[in-house]
Amino acid sequence: MKLKDKVVVITGASSGIGKALAYEFAKRGANLVLGARQFVTLCEITQDIEGRYNNRSVAVQCDVAIEEDCKTLIKQSILTFGRVDVLINNAGISMRALFKDADLKVLKSLMDVNFWGTINCTKHALPEVTKTGGSIVAVSSIAGYKGLPGRTGYSASKFAINGFMDALRVENLNTGVHIMVACPGFTASNIRNTALNKDGISQQESTLNENKMMTSEEVAKQIADGVEQRKRTLILTFQGKLTVFLSKFLPSFVDKQVYKLFSKERDALIK
Protein backbone atom coordinates (compact mmCIF):
# COMPACT_ATOMS: atom_id res chain seq x y z
CA MET A 1 0.00 0.00 0.00
CA LYS A 2 1.29 3.42 -0.95
CA LEU A 3 0.03 6.06 1.42
CA LYS A 4 -0.34 8.99 -0.98
CA ASP A 5 -3.94 10.22 -0.95
CA LYS A 6 -5.01 7.50 1.51
CA VAL A 7 -7.27 8.48 4.40
CA VAL A 8 -5.70 7.66 7.75
CA VAL A 9 -7.53 7.91 11.08
CA ILE A 10 -5.25 8.21 14.13
CA THR A 11 -6.40 8.23 17.76
CA GLY A 12 -4.38 9.77 20.58
CA ALA A 13 -2.89 12.13 17.99
CA SER A 14 -2.28 15.17 20.19
CA SER A 15 1.09 14.04 21.59
CA GLY A 16 3.76 11.33 21.68
CA ILE A 17 3.62 8.51 19.16
CA GLY A 18 0.21 9.64 17.86
CA LYS A 19 1.47 13.11 16.99
CA ALA A 20 4.59 11.65 15.38
CA LEU A 21 2.39 9.29 13.36
CA ALA A 22 0.33 12.23 12.09
CA TYR A 23 3.43 13.98 10.75
CA GLU A 24 4.92 10.77 9.31
CA PHE A 25 1.77 9.80 7.41
CA ALA A 26 1.28 13.38 6.22
CA LYS A 27 4.87 13.38 4.95
CA ARG A 28 3.98 10.33 2.85
CA GLY A 29 1.01 12.08 1.28
CA ALA A 30 -1.89 10.78 3.37
CA ASN A 31 -4.96 12.78 4.36
CA LEU A 32 -5.61 12.66 8.09
CA VAL A 33 -8.45 12.45 10.57
CA LEU A 34 -6.94 13.04 13.99
CA GLY A 35 -8.74 12.19 17.22
CA ALA A 36 -7.88 13.08 20.82
CA ARG A 37 -9.38 14.70 23.87
CA GLN A 38 -7.13 17.78 23.55
CA PHE A 39 -9.04 19.50 20.76
CA VAL A 40 -7.16 22.82 20.75
CA THR A 41 -3.83 21.01 20.49
CA LEU A 42 -5.21 18.84 17.69
CA CYS A 43 -6.30 21.92 15.75
CA GLU A 44 -2.81 23.39 16.05
CA ILE A 45 -1.32 20.15 14.76
CA THR A 46 -3.70 19.93 11.78
CA GLN A 47 -3.01 23.54 10.84
CA ASP A 48 0.74 22.99 11.02
CA ILE A 49 0.51 19.79 8.95
CA GLU A 50 -1.59 21.45 6.25
CA GLY A 51 0.91 24.31 6.15
CA ARG A 52 3.82 21.91 5.62
CA TYR A 53 2.35 19.24 3.36
CA ASN A 54 -0.01 19.19 0.41
CA ASN A 55 -2.80 17.27 2.12
CA ARG A 56 -5.92 17.75 4.24
CA SER A 57 -6.13 17.16 7.98
CA VAL A 58 -9.21 17.17 10.20
CA ALA A 59 -9.30 17.41 14.00
CA VAL A 60 -12.04 15.61 15.93
CA GLN A 61 -12.42 15.77 19.69
CA CYS A 62 -12.64 12.17 20.77
CA ASP A 63 -12.46 10.21 24.00
CA VAL A 64 -11.98 6.65 22.78
CA ALA A 65 -13.45 5.26 25.99
CA ILE A 66 -16.80 6.64 24.79
CA GLU A 67 -18.19 4.58 21.91
CA GLU A 68 -20.27 7.44 20.52
CA ASP A 69 -17.11 9.57 20.19
CA CYS A 70 -15.46 6.79 18.20
CA LYS A 71 -18.52 6.50 15.97
CA THR A 72 -18.36 10.27 15.36
CA LEU A 73 -14.66 10.04 14.53
CA ILE A 74 -15.31 7.55 11.73
CA LYS A 75 -18.41 9.43 10.55
CA GLN A 76 -16.31 12.58 10.20
CA SER A 77 -13.84 10.71 8.02
CA ILE A 78 -16.68 9.58 5.74
CA LEU A 79 -18.24 13.05 5.64
CA THR A 80 -14.94 14.72 4.79
CA PHE A 81 -13.19 12.17 2.59
CA GLY A 82 -15.81 9.53 1.78
CA ARG A 83 -13.63 6.65 2.98
CA VAL A 84 -11.28 5.16 5.57
CA ASP A 85 -8.13 3.42 4.37
CA VAL A 86 -6.20 3.06 7.63
CA LEU A 87 -7.23 3.14 11.28
CA ILE A 88 -4.44 3.43 13.82
CA ASN A 89 -5.60 2.69 17.36
CA ASN A 90 -2.92 4.58 19.24
CA ALA A 91 -4.70 6.29 22.14
CA GLY A 92 -3.52 4.93 25.47
CA ILE A 93 -2.64 5.66 29.07
CA SER A 94 -0.33 3.95 31.55
CA MET A 95 -0.07 3.51 35.30
CA ARG A 96 2.55 3.21 38.03
CA ALA A 97 1.37 1.47 41.17
CA LEU A 98 1.62 -1.97 42.67
CA PHE A 99 -1.61 -3.92 42.34
CA LYS A 100 -1.93 -4.32 46.12
CA ASP A 101 -1.94 -0.53 46.53
CA ALA A 102 -3.92 0.54 43.47
CA ASP A 103 -7.54 1.58 43.50
CA LEU A 104 -9.40 -0.68 41.07
CA LYS A 105 -10.68 2.39 39.22
CA VAL A 106 -7.12 2.82 37.92
CA LEU A 107 -7.16 -0.56 36.20
CA LYS A 108 -10.67 0.07 34.90
CA SER A 109 -9.54 3.38 33.39
CA LEU A 110 -6.68 1.67 31.57
CA MET A 111 -8.95 -1.03 30.17
CA ASP A 112 -11.55 1.57 29.12
CA VAL A 113 -9.03 3.66 27.18
CA ASN A 114 -6.48 1.13 25.94
CA PHE A 115 -8.60 -1.95 25.27
CA TRP A 116 -12.16 -0.67 24.86
CA GLY A 117 -10.88 2.36 22.94
CA THR A 118 -9.38 -0.04 20.40
CA ILE A 119 -12.60 -2.08 20.31
CA ASN A 120 -14.84 0.98 19.93
CA CYS A 121 -12.93 2.53 17.04
CA THR A 122 -12.33 -0.76 15.25
CA LYS A 123 -16.03 -1.70 15.47
CA HIS A 124 -17.11 1.41 13.58
CA ALA A 125 -14.15 1.57 11.19
CA LEU A 126 -14.07 -2.08 10.09
CA PRO A 127 -16.96 -1.88 7.57
CA GLU A 128 -15.31 1.12 5.90
CA VAL A 129 -11.81 -0.37 5.91
CA THR A 130 -13.26 -3.55 4.42
CA LYS A 131 -14.55 -1.52 1.46
CA THR A 132 -11.06 -0.17 0.74
CA GLY A 133 -9.06 -3.28 1.60
CA GLY A 134 -7.11 -1.12 4.00
CA SER A 135 -5.39 -1.56 7.35
CA ILE A 136 -6.36 -1.67 11.01
CA VAL A 137 -3.42 -1.12 13.33
CA ALA A 138 -3.14 -1.32 17.11
CA VAL A 139 -0.23 0.31 18.89
CA SER A 140 0.34 -2.22 21.64
CA SER A 141 3.52 -2.74 23.65
CA ILE A 142 6.17 -5.21 24.74
CA ALA A 143 4.08 -5.10 27.95
CA GLY A 144 1.55 -7.09 25.91
CA TYR A 145 4.04 -9.95 25.82
CA LYS A 146 5.67 -9.58 29.24
CA GLY A 147 3.93 -8.34 32.37
CA LEU A 148 5.66 -5.37 33.98
CA PRO A 149 5.69 -4.69 37.75
CA GLY A 150 3.75 -1.62 38.77
CA ARG A 151 1.92 -1.75 35.42
CA THR A 152 -0.55 -4.59 35.93
CA GLY A 153 -3.45 -2.74 34.32
CA TYR A 154 -1.31 -1.54 31.44
CA SER A 155 0.04 -5.02 30.74
CA ALA A 156 -3.44 -6.52 31.01
CA SER A 157 -4.84 -4.02 28.50
CA LYS A 158 -2.02 -4.68 26.03
CA PHE A 159 -2.31 -8.47 26.34
CA ALA A 160 -6.03 -8.03 25.64
CA ILE A 161 -5.33 -5.89 22.57
CA ASN A 162 -2.91 -8.47 21.21
CA GLY A 163 -5.48 -11.25 21.62
CA PHE A 164 -8.26 -9.20 20.05
CA MET A 165 -6.17 -8.24 17.04
CA ASP A 166 -4.95 -11.80 16.55
CA ALA A 167 -8.53 -13.11 16.46
CA LEU A 168 -9.61 -10.23 14.20
CA ARG A 169 -6.82 -11.12 11.77
CA VAL A 170 -8.07 -14.68 11.45
CA GLU A 171 -11.65 -13.49 10.93
CA ASN A 172 -10.45 -11.28 8.08
CA LEU A 173 -8.13 -13.66 6.26
CA ASN A 174 -10.34 -13.55 3.18
CA THR A 175 -11.70 -10.00 3.33
CA GLY A 176 -8.59 -8.15 2.16
CA VAL A 177 -8.28 -6.22 5.44
CA HIS A 178 -4.73 -5.95 6.76
CA ILE A 179 -4.35 -6.32 10.54
CA MET A 180 -1.13 -5.21 12.22
CA VAL A 181 0.01 -5.00 15.83
CA ALA A 182 2.91 -2.66 16.60
CA CYS A 183 4.71 -3.27 19.89
CA PRO A 184 7.19 -0.55 20.81
CA GLY A 185 9.56 -1.01 23.70
CA PHE A 186 10.30 1.96 25.94
CA THR A 187 9.64 5.07 23.85
CA ALA A 188 10.43 8.68 24.70
CA SER A 189 6.96 10.20 24.99
CA ASN A 190 4.72 11.71 27.64
CA ILE A 191 2.95 8.44 28.51
CA ARG A 192 4.95 7.99 31.71
CA ASN A 193 4.35 11.61 32.73
CA THR A 194 0.60 11.09 32.48
CA ALA A 195 0.70 7.59 34.01
CA LEU A 196 -1.85 7.16 36.79
CA ASN A 197 -0.68 6.56 40.33
CA LYS A 198 -2.45 4.30 42.84
CA ASP A 199 -5.17 6.91 43.32
CA GLY A 200 -5.75 7.55 39.62
CA ILE A 201 -3.84 10.84 39.50
CA SER A 202 -1.19 11.58 36.85
CA GLN A 203 2.28 11.20 38.31
CA GLN A 204 3.54 14.16 36.20
CA GLU A 205 7.14 12.97 35.94
CA SER A 206 8.81 9.98 34.31
CA THR A 207 10.76 7.67 36.61
CA LEU A 208 12.82 6.20 33.76
CA ASN A 209 15.67 7.61 31.68
CA GLU A 210 13.90 8.97 28.60
CA ASN A 211 17.17 9.91 26.87
CA LYS A 212 18.07 6.28 26.18
CA MET A 213 14.73 5.37 24.62
CA MET A 214 13.59 5.13 21.00
CA THR A 215 12.01 8.39 19.88
CA SER A 216 8.35 8.69 18.93
CA GLU A 217 9.45 9.71 15.44
CA GLU A 218 11.44 6.50 14.99
CA VAL A 219 8.44 4.45 16.13
CA ALA A 220 6.14 6.33 13.74
CA LYS A 221 8.43 5.71 10.78
CA GLN A 222 8.53 1.97 11.44
CA ILE A 223 4.74 1.80 11.84
CA ALA A 224 4.21 3.67 8.57
CA ASP A 225 6.66 1.30 6.85
CA GLY A 226 4.75 -1.62 8.34
CA VAL A 227 1.45 -0.36 6.95
CA GLU A 228 2.95 0.14 3.48
CA GLN A 229 4.46 -3.36 3.58
CA ARG A 230 1.33 -4.85 5.20
CA LYS A 231 3.28 -6.49 7.97
CA ARG A 232 1.66 -8.69 10.59
CA THR A 233 3.54 -7.69 13.75
CA LEU A 234 6.20 -5.15 14.61
CA ILE A 235 8.38 -5.81 17.64
CA LEU A 236 10.47 -2.67 18.04
CA THR A 237 13.91 -2.30 19.66
CA PHE A 238 16.48 -5.00 20.24
CA GLN A 239 15.53 -5.15 23.92
CA GLY A 240 11.91 -5.76 22.95
CA LYS A 241 12.76 -8.51 20.47
CA LEU A 242 15.03 -10.19 23.03
CA THR A 243 12.37 -10.00 25.75
CA VAL A 244 9.71 -11.60 23.56
CA PHE A 245 12.09 -14.33 22.37
CA LEU A 246 13.49 -15.23 25.80
CA SER A 247 10.05 -15.18 27.41
CA LYS A 248 9.14 -18.21 25.30
CA PHE A 249 12.12 -20.30 26.41
CA LEU A 250 13.48 -18.80 29.65
CA PRO A 251 10.49 -17.17 31.37
CA SER A 252 11.93 -17.36 34.91
CA PHE A 253 15.15 -15.72 33.76
CA VAL A 254 13.19 -12.89 32.11
CA ASP A 255 11.12 -12.44 35.30
CA LYS A 256 14.32 -11.80 37.25
CA GLN A 257 15.73 -9.41 34.65
CA VAL A 258 12.53 -7.38 34.50
CA TYR A 259 12.39 -7.24 38.30
CA LYS A 260 16.01 -6.08 38.38
CA LEU A 261 15.34 -3.38 35.77
CA PHE A 262 12.33 -1.90 37.54
CA SER A 263 13.97 -2.06 40.96
CA LYS A 264 16.42 0.53 39.62
CA GLU A 265 13.89 3.12 38.48
CA ARG A 266 13.65 6.35 40.42
CA ASP A 267 11.48 5.93 43.54
CA ALA A 268 11.22 2.23 42.73
CA LEU A 269 8.04 0.40 43.71
CA ILE A 270 9.92 -2.88 44.15
CA LYS A 271 13.21 -3.34 45.97
- State the catalytic residues: 154
What letters, b where the CB count within 10 A reaches 16 and e where it falls short, cover 113-142? bbbbbbbbbbebbbebbeebebbbbbbbbb
The DSSP-derived string for 71-120 is HHHHHHHHHHHS--SEEEE-----B-S-TTTS-HHHHHHHIIIIIHHHHH
Q: Round to whole Å and give the CA distance between 251 and 2.
A: 39
The answer to whether 22 and 47 have CB atoms below 8 angstroms apart is no
**Residues forming a β-bridge with 130:** none
**Three-state DSSP state, 180:** strand
Of 227, 115, 117, 65, nearest in space to 125 by CA: 117
Cα distance between residue 61 and residue 13, in whole Å: 10
β-strands 178-183, 187-188 pairing? unpaired
Which one, of 92, 173, 86, lies nearest residue 126 by Cα?
Answer: 86
- Show the CA angle centred on residue 165, arms to residues 161 and 168, nearest 5°: 140
> Are 184 and 220 in contact, with CB atoms under 8 Å apart?
no
